[in-house]
Amino acid sequence: MIAVLQRVSEASVRVDGAVIGQIDAGLLVLLCAEKGDTEAVADKLLAKMLKLRIFSDEAGKMNLSVQDVGGGLLVVSQFTLAADLAGGNRPSFTLAAAPEDGRRLYEHFLARARAAHPVVQTGQFAADMKVSLVNDGPITIPMRMSA
């Protein structure tokens, strides 16, 4: 699985003009399942993400996790993270999981996130979404987990 984490002071996602997910300070998580990914991979990614120390402590050092600061998670599916650019100017997405597998792993990730963290908001799988954010720092961390 691939995730891009952005530390935000606020973020939201809209579908058809309506806000369907929104957080204040926390992490915007762009999430992509790749072919061969499993629930165990999703669990491993979530565990690492929740413990990742990218929030500032009182001394201004990145020493706290999203759980430590009580920040929210806004999780948005984004299959385009699996883009393969080797073949020319038009990206190929053959490395992304099939839609039914992607949806299953996205929903698994969300269920586990909600069980482990108090504030979890989402986008809508396979929808045309408009994502807004205020990147705090800016801090943007790419993550990739495999079996």
* pTM score: 0.96
What's the pLDDT tens digit per position in 1-14?
999 999 999 999 99
What's the pLDDT tens digit per position in 76-123?
999 999 999 999 999 999 999 999 999 999 999 999 999 999 999 999
**Catalytic: which of 55, 79, 121, 122?**
79
Question: Could you confirm whether 80 is annotated as catalytic?
Answer: yes
Residues 144/37, Cβ–Cβ less than 8 Å: no
Question: Could you confirm whether 55 is annotated as catalytic?
Answer: no
Reference 52, options 72, 40, 39, 67; nearest CA is 67
What's the pLDDT tens digit per position in 50-76?
999 999 999 999 999 999 999 999 999
**How many other CB atoms are there within 10 angstroms of residue 9's CB atom?**
14
Question: Could you confirm whether 94 is annotated as catalytic?
Answer: no
Mean pLDDT of the chain: 97
- Would the pLDDT of 24 be above 90? yes
Q: How far is CA 144 from CA 13, 59, 61, 88, 141, in A?
A: 23, 30, 24, 24, 10
Residue 4 backbone phi and psi in degrees, to 5? -115, 120
**Catalytic: which of 22, 55, 67, 80?**
80
| pLDDT bucket at 132, cuts 50 / 70 / 90 | very high
pLDDT for position 147 = 78
**Catalytic: which of 78, 109, 121, 122?**
78
**Which domains are delineated in the chain?**
2-144 (3.50.80.10)
Return the residue matching tokens 């599916």.
Answer: 77
Q: How far is CA 103 from CA 9, 41, 138, in A?
A: 28, 15, 29
**How many other CB atoms are there within 10 angstroms of residue 73's CB atom?**
27
What's the average model confidence in pLDDT over 125-143? 97
